[in-house]
């Protein structure tokens, strides 16, 4: 049930050149940003495969055949019990084998193998509700939550983000500021207590902040569109391998997505046609490709010896 | 209770932990105070789940704490329904039996995962509810008002209210009794005319006397009798047969008035003529002529018009663009949220199920017409307040679009008091389909005898019974509860994902949507292709028992498709459905014997001759008489400073910013929206048409616009229709689109949908004395449509008409003004060359393109003075086409930096809006001679633009445009808009203050403004 081809996932993968970065993009059950998510990886030079969630759940596709696992935005299961809740619940409880193994077990293994997980918007909500973010305690238990915006409404508007210099995730390498659209009704990060807040800050897990015109983190609406704690738009886990954010970098793949593109291109006709959001995908693809190269070199070396 | 005790009914209550913000409760308190003047004190909200499934106490606790509650936010209470200290009264909002409960379904899904048990999620085991505790001890009547006017709709919700001290009454729907395999026979023999009409009215058949007689005669005919006897049916019709005929012959499905013979008389000229079908004469034939011209010029992109669920045109050799716009007015009048969401989802199903089916949805648009939301008079019985309709419809569009992952890329909201009875809710959807699926032409619908009939998606309940017939009559206070439909975007999303894959794997022969008329309509229409069908109704999965066969057949329960599948492909199709969790049911097969044959458990329920069913409806003959309304131009004293007038116009209901609405729609999911409704560095510069690219591999895209100008119809419906058509065309020209067919084989497709919404236009001396004039207006609207399509060579590809937009109660009738919406799409060869409306750079030269005339009739300027006037703007199609062609050439040479079309409020408003994107200003000098100042500023003459040109391109631009461009001034860096005339400054204002006037208009104020300039407003429900 691979969405973007009539063939099976194994077939698609067999066409993948050795060393290519392989991104698995989940879809189904109300996820709806899978196409632009996959396009982002392709534009960044990776192989992207869109797979229905049930194919993974039922074992027809293994996440371990991929380098980066992606949870796109949308309204998984309608978000009726709170954003991302039902999907997180499925990952945690639905057994995929008689041995009682769950997909969460697989994801833990995937991360332990040094691989990467990215969640955007609803995907970020899934990772938070599951406890993969921020995962301070390392036991994948929910520590913070994402809930209704302070404004009480869903909104689509563009915001400016700053990358926390203390963040070490390869997704954000070399990025200082980023303009992106937010499109959500439940993006307000709530951290339950000061200790958790301090721990997140100390580890630099609050990797993205909503900022004002001066470049300072802000709680002022609508610059901070949801009233998030720590003015926080995105989190990583302590390894930096798991990254989630409310805004949509995959909706800014071309310069022409920006609301002010026409004036900006008049000012600067030679500017890149790429959107700023693409850099996140280029970063992780480059990082994984480099790892592959290093690994391949090591293997080659080992073979020679 | 020990853990081994298994209880089968449980209640789980989630409340917010102390210190967590209760936004829901706060909004109820604010809305009660603001909208109803009721002081509730603090309001505390809680979510309730009633679980009718055997669970141990441990299982229940695990389910509640691990699956439903958020550990950061919620406290959990099990099996108790108690209040809280300090709260005197309560409101409990539950759903009535059979009403879609997505939240309950999701909870079931979670429970199944937790238990690792298969749990039929199509049967309701968990029922979600809301409980509100109110601090103040309000009397029951006031609690009921809050419940019914703010929290629920009596037609779909069960509402309990009372004092907490008396105990909180719970309600959980119990589905009705056993199966009702009952088919009744209705005798028509010997009924008088009066009795026939009464039968039609009592059963909401919405058939007139002549139609009822035709039905009676069909059943009385000797050959019918013989056939029925042979097939084991009673001589008289069954209830199901009459329902099928009523649905098939409904105005909604058959468009009888657009197909009628019309005797038209113009009392001014004395001209009389007979029109043989408005649809054939003005729409179909006009498009045929356009297609002939297109093909003669090597433009053969018109693929499918008027014959399927949506129109299809070719984008390029690989793909088709599919376009459909419909209305959902009657449902939105009685249940604004449900009406709008099912409107969107229903309209989405049209392109999804065009041809074979499986198009990918690209975008939605919405055009809405409401009464004044600030209305403070007495409402009629059954009439909802316009504000409530606005808020409900807006929310329905938000959920319908956002949860389907389809961007709402543009739209319009028109206010007029005459929409206070029935609002107009236009839903449009564009989609892209490959030219071929598994080697077959995707747009074809082919069916052979023996092909299976598969129902896919949601189950059938009593919801939406009689939607097709009900929308074909005027609305009154007795609107049937079952006509309300409840949408489930998530159910449809699953079905949509499934359809996409099934089509690409070649598993579908074709498909159609189950909308108005349900299976009766979808199977009835498809059976026309093969020549008959057998349907076995006992196979249809139901939401709950108790439906009679006829109800199953005509129910409009949502999110369903009817698929046509070759028997050999059934196994693979069913496996795919199971994998993707979409319920598929084989409910029969197609035949070629000429009959629609419906059975229940083998017993005949209906058997109708297909030819009679589809061709047997008697043709109507209608009378139209046009009398030009007596109008006069008002005397409005000239002023020397129009700054204040401009600010008033910017803040007026029909011009002010719609940002609070726009931002609650996702307009950029899919990442392909290039021109959005609001653009610029501020995100507050309004745009003319949306531009969306088709994919990430090319820069080809489509421009989308809407033309709608109902108030001009009070002066002349012809000019109103012509102007609306031109408005939609010029919006696309403004963003850089080009007219079609200018060069051989240029392959620039245009695809237009027309949607007529008119009041009852059938003359009746008692109940509709001005019916002839209303019908004459419709004729004139159609004449303008024909002239416009011919002039621009732009084809209609699909459309809809809604003929009974009246609301009648308490002896009063509120009728909509005759309204037409033209929804246009045109190919953009390279979206990177789209032009936006806002100024781009200081010192760019500002031009007015096109001609201004003394045409203030029906203008917003006159409306500000409480006047209508007489001089309605007229379209000169030849001049307009010449101008649009030149603008296209200017864009080929990259000469235009910004372009904004002139509409409501004329030049002055357009100039102000072009400064909103970045805060540039402009110095403008209007011609000293010619038209009076107010006319130059505020006339709404058509086919005009404000455009800017870089200083270095001025010579080339002026050479190209010649006299069609009037140089007005230049863009300035200082954010001041200054307009001078004859040596005087007539407008001087800061762009930011004009933007504030526009942003703080009534729409944003009412819905809670969302802008940097006004952060103090609260939200409403």
Task: Tell whether A295 is within 8 A of chain B (Cβ).
Answer: no
Q: Is the peptide bond before A109 cis (omega within 30 degrees of 0)?
A: no
pLDDT at residue B544, as a whole number: 75
pLDDT at residue B250, as a whole number: 86
- Find all residues with CB under 8 Å of B97, minimum gap 6, and list them: B173, B174, B175, B176, B544
pLDDT at residue A305, as a whole number: 53
Distance (Å, rounded) from C-alpha B344 to C-alpha B328?
9
**Residue whose tokens read 């099928």:** B244
Distance (Å, rounded) from C-alpha B359 to C-alpha B599?
33
- Residue of A93, A153, A256 with shortest CB distance to B832: A256
Instruction: Decide: B976 and B991 in contact? Cβ < 8 Å.
Output: yes
Count of CB pairs separated by less than 8 Å, A with B: 213
- Find all residues with CB under 8 Å of B543, minimum gap 6, and list them: B98, B124, B175, B459, B460, B461, B557
**Residue whose tokens read 């850089």:** B736
Question: pLDDT by residue for chain A (305 residues), tens digit each?
Answer: 555 443 334 334 434 455 799 999 999 999 999 999 999 999 999 999 999 999 999 999 999 999 999 999 999 888 888 889 999 999 999 999 878 999 999 999 999 999 999 999 999 999 999 999 999 999 999 999 999 999 889 999 999 999 999 999 999 999 999 999 999 999 999 999 999 999 999 999 999 999 999 999 999 999 999 999 999 999 999 999 999 999 999 999 999 999 999 999 999 999 999 999 999 999 999 999 999 988 777 766 666 65
Find, in chain B, the residue whose alpha carbon is nearest to that of A154.
B664
- Residue of A77, A157, A260 with shortest CB distance to B681: A260
Distance (Å, rounded) from C-alpha A279 to C-alpha B453?
49
- Choose among B1005, B969, B1008: nearest CA to B987: B969
Q: Residues 128-157, chain A: which have Cβ within 8 Å of B?
A: 129, 142, 144-145, 147-148, 150-157
Q: Where are the alpha helices (DSSP H) in B766-854?
A: 771-792
- Choose among B613, B642, B428: nearest CA to B520: B613
CA angle in degrees (0–180, nearest 5) for B165-B169-B173: 170
Residue A250: active-site member: yes
- Choose among B578, B577, B497, B506: nearest CA to B356: B506
A89:B494 CB<8 A: no
- Of A34, A36, A52, A121, the active-site residue reads A121
Alpha carbon B298 to its chain's center:
35
Topology of domain A9-14+21-304, CATH: Rossmann fold (3.40.50)
Residue B638 tokens, joined = 């000239």
Distances (CA, A) of B1017 to B98, B340, B1005: 38, 26, 7
Instruction: Decide: A2 and A12 in contact? Cβ < 8 Å.
Output: yes
Task: Tell whether A77 is within 8 A of chain B (Cβ).
Answer: yes
Task: Tell whether A13 is within 8 A of chain B (Cβ).
Answer: no
- Of A248, A258, A276, A287, the active-site residue reads A248
Find, in chain B, the residue whose alpha carbon is nearest to that of A59.
B579
Domain spans in chain A, listed from the N-terminal domain onward: 9-14+21-304
Buried b (16+ CB within 10 A) or exposed e, B394-413: bbbbbbbbbbbbbbbbbbbb
Find, in chain A, the residue whose alpha carbon is nearest to that of B101.
A80
Distance (Å, rounded) from C-alpha B22 to C-alpha B611?
60
pLDDT at residue B128, as a whole number: 95
- The backbone torsions φ and ψ at residue B54, rounded to the nearest 5 degrees and listed phi first, read -65, 120
Task: Tell whether A52 is within 8 A of chain B (Cβ).
Answer: yes
Distance (Å, rounded) from C-alpha A155 to C-alpha B694?
24
Instruction: Decide: B847 and B965 in contact? Cβ < 8 Å.
Output: yes
Distance (Å, rounded) from C-alpha B341 to C-alpha B328?
9
Residue A207: active-site member: no
B490:A42 CB<8 A: no
Distance (Å, rounded) from C-alpha A190 to C-alpha A146?
6
pLDDT at residue B99, as a whole number: 77
- ipTM of the complex in this document: 0.94
Distance (Å, rounded) from C-alpha B203 to C-alpha B147?
31
Count of CB atoms situated within 10 Å of the CB of B979: 27
Task: Tell whether B736 is within 8 A of chain A (Cβ).
Answer: no
Q: Residues 97-126, chain A: which have Cβ within 8 Å of B?
A: none
- Of A250, A258, A276, A287, the active-site residue reads A250
Instruction: Decide: B682 and B919 in contact? Cβ < 8 Å.
Output: yes
Structural domains of chain B sorted by starting position, each given as residue range(s) with its CATH number in brackets? 7-166 (3.30.1280.10), 187-276+445-617 (3.90.650.10), 643-756+769-802+822-1007 (3.90.650.10)
pLDDT at residue B795, as a whole number: 97
pLDDT at residue B491, as a whole number: 87
Burial (0-12, 13-18, 19+ Cβ within 10 Å), B776: buried
Instruction: Decide: B490 and A30 in contact? Cβ < 8 Å.
Output: yes
Task: Tell whether A266 is within 8 A of chain B (Cβ).
Answer: yes
Count of CB atoms situated within 10 Å of the CB of B602: 7
Q: Is the peptide bond before B101 cis (omega within 30 degrees of 0)?
A: no
Listed as ranges, residues in chain B with pLDDT below 50 are 1-4, 177-178, 1009-1021
Alpha carbon B955 to its chain's center:
46
A86:B666 CB<8 A: no
CA angle in degrees (0–180, nearest 5) for B423-B426-B428: 165
Q: What is the DSSP letter of B686?
A: E
Cα of first residue to Cα of last residue in chain B, in angstroms, is: 42
Burial (0-12, 13-18, 19+ Cβ within 10 Å), B192: exposed
What Rg value do the Cα atoms of chain A yield, rounded?
Answer: 19
Find, in chain A, the residue whose alpha carbon is nearest to that of B1010.
A222
Residue A15: active-site member: no
Q: What is the DSSP letter of A246?
A: S
pLDDT at residue A14, as a whole number: 38
- Find all residues with CB under 8 Å of B643, minimum gap 6, and list them: B986, B987, B988, B989
Q: Residues 53-72, chain A: which have Cβ within 8 Å of B?
A: 54-55, 58
pLDDT digits (tens, 9 = 90+) for A86-123: 999 999 999 998 789 999 999 999 999 999 999 999 99
- The backbone torsions φ and ψ at residue B617, rounded to the nearest 5 degrees and listed phi first, read -70, 130
- Closest-CA distance of chain B to residue A86, Å: 6
- Choose among A259, A189, A158, A177: nearest CA to B1010: A158
pTM as predicted: 0.94
Distance (Å, rounded) from C-alpha B199 to C-alpha A238?
73
B679:A262 CB<8 A: yes
Distance (Å, rounded) from C-alpha B255 to C-alpha B619?
11
Distance (Å, rounded) from C-alpha B343 to C-alpha B329?
9
- The backbone torsions φ and ψ at residue A156, rounded to the nearest 5 degrees and listed phi first, read -115, 110
CB-side exposure of A82: number of CA atoms within 13 Å? 26
Cα of first residue to Cα of last residue in chain A, in angstroms, is: 43
Distance (Å, rounded) from C-alpha B589 to C-alpha B567?
9
Burial (0-12, 13-18, 19+ Cβ within 10 Å), A110: buried
- Closest-CA distance of chain A to residue B303, Å: 26
Chain B positions touching A28 (Cβ under 8 A) are 494, 497, 580
Burial (0-12, 13-18, 19+ Cβ within 10 Å), B803: buried
> What strands, in cross-sheet order, belong to the sheet with B806-809?
B475-476, B806-809, B812-815
Find, in chain A, the residue whose alpha carbon is nearest to that of B497.
A28
Question: By three-state DSSP, how is residue A220 classified?
Answer: coil
Using N-to-C axis directions, what is the helix angle for B570-579 and B489-504, rounded to 10°?
140
Distance (Å, rounded) from C-alpha B394 to C-alpha B401?
11
pLDDT at residue A9, as a whole number: 40
- Find all residues with CB under 8 Å of B332, minimum gap 6, and list them: B339, B340, B343, B389, B392, B393, B396, B423, B425
Task: Tell whether B726 is within 8 A of chain A (Cβ).
Answer: no
pLDDT digits (tens, 9 = 90+) for A212-241: 999 999 999 999 999 999 999 999 999 999
- Choose among B308, B400, B312: nearest CA to B353: B308
CA angle in degrees (0–180, nearest 5) for A283-A288-A291: 130
Pairing of strands B984-990, B976-981: antiparallel
- Closest-CA distance of chain A to residue B350, Å: 20
Count of CB atoms situated within 10 Å of the CB of A14: 9
Q: Is the peptide bond before B418 cis (omega within 30 degrees of 0)?
A: no
């Amino acid at each position: 049930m691979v969405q973007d081809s009539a063939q099976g996932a194994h077939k698609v993968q067999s066409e993948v050149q050795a060393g290519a970065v392989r991104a698995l993009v989940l879809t189904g059950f109300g996820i709806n940003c899978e196409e632009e998510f996959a396009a982002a990886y392709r534009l960044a030079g990776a192989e992207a495969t869109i797979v229905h969630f049930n194919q993974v759940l039922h074992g027809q596709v293994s996440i371990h055949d991929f380098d980066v696992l992606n949870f796109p935005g949308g309204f998984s299961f309608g978000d009726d019990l709170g954003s991302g809740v039902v999907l997180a619940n499925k990952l945690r409880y639905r057994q995929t084998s008689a041995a009682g193994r769950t997909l969460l077990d697989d994801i833990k293994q995937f991360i332990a193998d040094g691989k990467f997980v990215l969640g955007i918007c609803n995907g970020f909500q899934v990772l938070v509700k599951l406890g993969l973010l921020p995962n301070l305690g390392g036991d994948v238990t929910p520590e913070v939550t994402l809930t209704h915006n302070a404004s009480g409404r869903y909104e689509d508007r563009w915001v400016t983000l700053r990358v926390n210099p203390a963040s070490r995730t390869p997704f954000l390498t070399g990025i200082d500021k980023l303009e992106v659209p937010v499109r959500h009704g439940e993006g307000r990060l709530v951290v339950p207590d000061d200790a958790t807040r301090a721990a997140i800050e100390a580890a630099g897990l609050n990797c993205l902040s909503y900022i004002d015109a001066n470049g300072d983190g802000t709680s002022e609406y609508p610059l901070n569109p949801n009233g998030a704690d720590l003015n926080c738009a995105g989190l990583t886990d302590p390894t930096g391998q798991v990254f989630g954010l409310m805004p949509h970098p995959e909706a800014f793949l071309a310069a022409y997505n920006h609301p002010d593109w026409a004036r900006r291109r008049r000012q600067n006709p030679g500017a890149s046609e790429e959107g700023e959001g693409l850099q996140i995908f280029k970063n992780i693809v480059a990082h994984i490709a480099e790892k592959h190269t290093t690994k391949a070199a090591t293997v080659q070396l080992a073979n020679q010896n | 209770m020990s853990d081994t005790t298994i209880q089968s009914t449980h209640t789980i209550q989630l409340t917010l932990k102390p210190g967590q913000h209760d936004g829901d409760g706060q909004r109820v308190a604010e809305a009660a105070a603001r909208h109803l003047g009721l002081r509730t004190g603090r309001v505390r909200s809680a979510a309730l789940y009633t679980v009718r499934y055997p669970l141990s106490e441990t299982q229940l606790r695990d389910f509640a704490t691990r699956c439903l509650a958020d550990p950061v936010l919620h406290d959990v209470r099990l099996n108790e329904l108690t209040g809280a200290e300090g709260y005197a009264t309560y409101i409990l909002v539950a759903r009535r039996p059979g009403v879609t409960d997505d939240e309950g379904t999701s909870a079931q899904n979670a429970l199944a995962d937790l238990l690792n048990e298969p749990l039929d999620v199509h049967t309701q085991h968990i029922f979600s509810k809301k409980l509100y505790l109110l601090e103040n001890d309000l009397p029951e009547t006031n609690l009921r008002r809050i419940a019914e006017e703010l929290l629920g709709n009596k037609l779909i919700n069960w509402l309990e209210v009372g004092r907490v001290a008396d105990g909180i009454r719970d309600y959980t729907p119990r589905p009705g009794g056993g199966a009702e395999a009952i088919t009744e026979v209705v005798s028509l023999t010997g009924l008088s005319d009066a009795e026939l009409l009464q039968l039609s009215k009592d059963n909401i058949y919405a058939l007139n006397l002549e139609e009822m007689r035709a039905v009676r005669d069909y059943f009385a005919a000797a050959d019918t009798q013989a056939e029925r006897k042979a097939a084991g049916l009673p001589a008289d019709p069954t209830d199901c047969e009459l329902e099928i005929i009523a649905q098939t012959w409904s105005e909604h499905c058959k468009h009888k008035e657009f197909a009628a013979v019309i005797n038209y008389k113009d009392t001014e000229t004395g001209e009389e003529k007979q029109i043989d079908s408005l649809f054939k004469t003005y729409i179909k034939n006009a498009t045929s002529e356009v297609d002939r011209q297109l093909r003669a010029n090597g433009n053969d992109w018109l693929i499918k018009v008027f014959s399927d669920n949506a129109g299809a045109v070719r984008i390029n050799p690989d793909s088709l663009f599919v376009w459909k716009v419909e209305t959902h007015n009657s449902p939105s009048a009685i249940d604004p949220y449900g009406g709008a969401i099912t409107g969107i989802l229903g309209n989405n199903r049209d392109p999804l199920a065009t041809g074979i089916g499986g198009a990918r949805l690209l975008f939605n648009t919405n055009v809405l017409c409401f009464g004044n939301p600030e209305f403070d008079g007495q409402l009629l019985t059954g009439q909802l307040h316009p504000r409530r309709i606005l808020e409900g419809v807006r929310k329905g569009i938000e959920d319908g679009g956002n949860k389907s992952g389809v961007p709402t890329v543009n739209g319009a909201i028109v206010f007029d008091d005459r929409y206070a009875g029935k609002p107009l809710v236009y839903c449009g959807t564009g989609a892209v389909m490959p030219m071929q699926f598994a080697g077959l032409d995707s747009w074809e619908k082919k069916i052979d005898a023996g092909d299976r009939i598969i129902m896919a998606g949601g189950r059938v309940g009593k919801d939406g019974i009689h939607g097709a017939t009900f929308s074909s009559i005027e609305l009154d206070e007795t609107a049937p509860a079952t006509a309300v439909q409840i949408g489930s975007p998530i159910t449809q999303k699953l079905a949509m994902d499934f359809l996409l894959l099934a089509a690409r794997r070649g598993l579908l022969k074709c498909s159609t949507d189950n909308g108005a008329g349900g299976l009766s309509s979808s199977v009835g229409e498809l059976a026309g292709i093969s020549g008959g069908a057998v349907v076995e109704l006992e196979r249809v999965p139901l939401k709950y028992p108790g439906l009679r066969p006829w109800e199953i057949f005509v129910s409009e329960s949502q999110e369903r498709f009817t698929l046509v599948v070759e028997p050999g492909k059934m196994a693979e199709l069913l496996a795919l459905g199971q994998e993707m969790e979409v319920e598929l049911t084989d409910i029969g097969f197609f035949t070629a014997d000429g009959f629609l044959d419906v059975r229940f458990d083998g017993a005949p329920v209906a058997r109708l001759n297909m030819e009679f069913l589809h061709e047997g409806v008697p043709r109507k003959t209608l009378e139209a008489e046009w009398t030009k309304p007596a109008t006069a131009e008002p005397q409005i004293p000239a002023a020397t400073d129009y700054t204040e007038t401009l600010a008033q116009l910017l803040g007026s209901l029909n011009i002010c910013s719609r940002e609070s609405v726009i931002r609650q729609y996702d307009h950029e999911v899919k990442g392909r929206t290039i021109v959005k409704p609001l653009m610029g560095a501020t995100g507050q510069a309004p745009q003319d048409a949306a531009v969306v690219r088709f994919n990430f591999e090319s820069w080809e895209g489509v421009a989308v616009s809407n033309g709608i100008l109902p108030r001009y119809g009070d002066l002349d419906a012809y000019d109103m229709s012509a102007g609306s058509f031109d408005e939609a065309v010029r919006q696309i020209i403004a963003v850089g689109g080009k007219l079609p067919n200018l060069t051989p084989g240029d392959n620039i497709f245009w695809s237009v949908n027309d949607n007529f919404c008119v009041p009852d236009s059938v003359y009746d001396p008692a109940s509709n004395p001005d019916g002839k004039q209303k019908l004459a207006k419709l004729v004139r609207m159609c004449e303008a449509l024909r002239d416009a399509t011919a002039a621009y060579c732009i084809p209609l590809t699909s459309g809809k008409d809604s003929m009974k937009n009246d609301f009648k109660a308490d002896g009063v009738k509120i009728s909509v003004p005759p309204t037409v919406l033209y929804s246009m799409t045109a190919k953009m060869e390279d979206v990177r060359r789209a032009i936006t409306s806002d100024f781009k750079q200081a010192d760019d030269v500002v031009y007015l393109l096109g001609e201004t005339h003394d045409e203030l009739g029906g203008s917003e300027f006159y409306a500000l003075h409480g006047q209508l006037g007489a001089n309605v703007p007229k379209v000169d199609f030849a001049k307009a086409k010449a101008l649009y062609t030149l603008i296209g050439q200017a864009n080929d040479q990259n000469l235009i930096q910004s372009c904004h079309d002139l509409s409501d409020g004329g030049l002055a408003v357009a100039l102000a809006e072009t400064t909103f994107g970045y805060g540039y200003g402009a110095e403008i000098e209007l011609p000293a001679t010619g038209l009076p100042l107010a006319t130059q500023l505020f006339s709404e003459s058509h086919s005009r633009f404000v455009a800017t040109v870089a200083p270095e391109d001025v010579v080339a631009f002026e050479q190209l445009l010649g006299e069609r461009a009037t140089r007005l001034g230049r863009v300035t860096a200082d954010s001041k808009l200054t307009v001078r005339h004859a040596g005087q400054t007539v407008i001087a204002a800061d762009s930011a203050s004009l933007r504030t006037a526009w942003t703080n208009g009534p729409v944003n104020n009412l819905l809670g403004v969302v802008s940097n300039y006004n952060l103090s407003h609260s939200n409403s429900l």
